[in-house]
Amino acid sequence: MRGKQPTIWDIAIKLNVSISTVSRALRNAPDINPETKKAILDLAHQLDYQPNTVAASLRKNKTDIIGVMVPEFVHAYFPNVILGIQEVANAAGYKVMVMQSSESLDIEKHNLQAMVSSRVDGLILAITRETNDYDHIVAAQRKGLPIVFFNRIVDELQGSKVMVDDYTGAFTAVQHLIQTGCRRIAHLAGPENMTIGRNRLNGYLDALKAHQFPLDETLVMHCDFVEGRARKYTQLLLDRPDRPDALFAVNDPTAIEALICIQENGLSIPNDIALIGFSNAPHSTFVTPPLTSVVQPIHEIGQLAAQLLIRQITTPQQFTPEIRILDTTLVIRQSTRPLVG
């Protein structure tokens, strides 16, 4: 930004008042004459004055910026929660600064540094799939940076967290597969160090157990959110003589990879293999057949995370970490068999 921008100084001089008065007028403080205030506001408008927030931030020791870091945003999930975040953040007078770590721990560290250097007032964070030590995050927290976690939750970190009821969601999904006649159900799983992976796995396991299904550990494939792995592992499953007749995927992108693989093998969904995803990315409705999926309230996750963070920022003294668990619902489409009876 090259061209000199007008400052409160310019306004003050032109109106023969002090900069204090101008400042008072601009952020409508009480101690000011309505007339002078109007004059200042008019001139400010006429000059198209835009306050220099970086100066204000320095002085106030507060940037009114909320940082958001997500592993990626080419799939629909994260953009949608960011939508929710922006909604409540903007309403509360905060700007939102989005960064993506591209599932890389190094970039995550680097971005985190940039965030604290930029003195964001708080951070909403979904860690990388490869984030396995948390020193950088703890260090930032110790510096006083409020962080709320979502989606990629990990027990080792403390702070507010918003998550969904992964266990029940998974349980219901697998139960539905069982009730529609599936007998060998495989799981394309997420990373086990995250609750998102562990809880969905446990829901899967417990649903099998509840229906007296034998446990076959070779049926859980750890795709761990890495692109392309679901496709490979699905192929492995299809090549087995005791091929499964259903797949429960840890999320929709994983499910869609599986779907493509299944169809490439000339198998039909759901007759040969039933398929359930998790997340309900919008385009899970576009694929053929439309994907049965465990829907989470994506938008609400973002809103809630922002609310918790803002509360922590504004009233830090009475802050205690809060863990919020939102409900999921199973949306049945055509990638699973119809319920008989």
Contacting residues toward DNA, per CB under 7 A: 4-5, 7-9, 16-21, 23-24, 26-27, 31-37, 49, 51-52, 55-56, 58-61
For residues 41 and 48, the answer to whether their CB atoms sit within 8 Å is no
Q: Which residues of 132-156 are buried (b: 16+ CB within 10 A; e: fewer)?
A: eeeebbeebbeeebbbbbbbbbbee
Phi and psi, residue 98, nearest 5°: -100, 135
Other C-beta atoms closer than 10 Å to the C-beta of 53 total: 13
Binding residue for a copy of itself, selected from 26, 226, 260, 330, defined by CB under 8 A: 260
* Sheet with 246-249, edge to edge strand ranges: 220-222, 185-189, 246-249, 274-279, 292-295, 329-331
Segment near a copy of itself (CB under 8 A), from 77-85, 167-175, 202-210, 242-250? 77-85
Phi and psi, residue 61, nearest 5°: 60, 50
Query: Which DSSP symbol is given to 338?
Result: P
> Which residue reads 């259903």 in tokens?
246
Query: How many positions of this chain bind a copy of itself (CB under 8 A)?
Result: 54
Closest CB 96 distance from DNA, rounded Å: 20
H helical segments located in 123-165: 135-142
Does 50 help bind a copy of itself (rule: CB under 8 A)?
yes
Amino acid code (one letter) for 16: N
Closest CB 58 distance from DNA, rounded Å: 4
Does 20 help bind a copy of itself (rule: CB under 8 A)?
no
Query: Which DSSP symbol is given to 133?
Result: -
Binding residue for a copy of itself, selected from 25, 69, 145, 262, defined by CB under 8 A: 145
Q: Which of DNA, a copy of itself, none does 202 bind, CB closer than 5 to 8 A by kind?
A: none
Alpha-carbon distance of 173 to 207, in angstroms, equals 9
Of 271-300, binders to a copy of itself (CB under 8 A) are 282-283, 286-288
Closest CB 158 distance from DNA, rounded Å: 26
Other C-beta atoms closer than 10 Å to the C-beta of 126 total: 23
Interaxial angle between packed helices 34-46 and 19-26, expressed in degrees from 0 to 180 and rounded to the nearest 10: 90
Alpha-carbon distance of 11 to 26, in angstroms, equals 11
Q: Which of DNA, a copy of itself, none does 96 bind, CB closer than 5 to 8 A by kind?
A: a copy of itself
Residue among 300, 271, 295 nearest 285 (CA): 295
Closest CB 50 distance from a copy of itself, rounded Å: 5
Q: Which of a copy of itself, DNA, none does 17 bind, CB closer than 5 to 8 A by kind?
A: DNA
Closest CB 141 distance from DNA, rounded Å: 19
Considering the complex, state which of residue 288 and residue 329 has its C-beta at the smaller distance from a copy of itself.
288
Considering the complex, state which of residue 73 and residue 213 has its C-beta at the smaller distance from a copy of itself.
73
Phi and psi, residue 233, nearest 5°: -70, -35
Closest CB 203 distance from a copy of itself, rounded Å: 26
Binding residue for a copy of itself, selected from 267, 316, 323, 329, defined by CB under 8 A: 316
Q: Which of DNA, a copy of itself, none does 288 bind, CB closer than 5 to 8 A by kind?
A: a copy of itself
Q: What is the binding site for a copy of itself (CB under 8 A)?
A: 1-5, 48, 50-55, 57-58, 61-63, 73-74, 76, 79-80, 82-83, 86, 95-100, 113-114, 116-122, 139, 142-145, 256, 259-260, 282-283, 286-288, 316
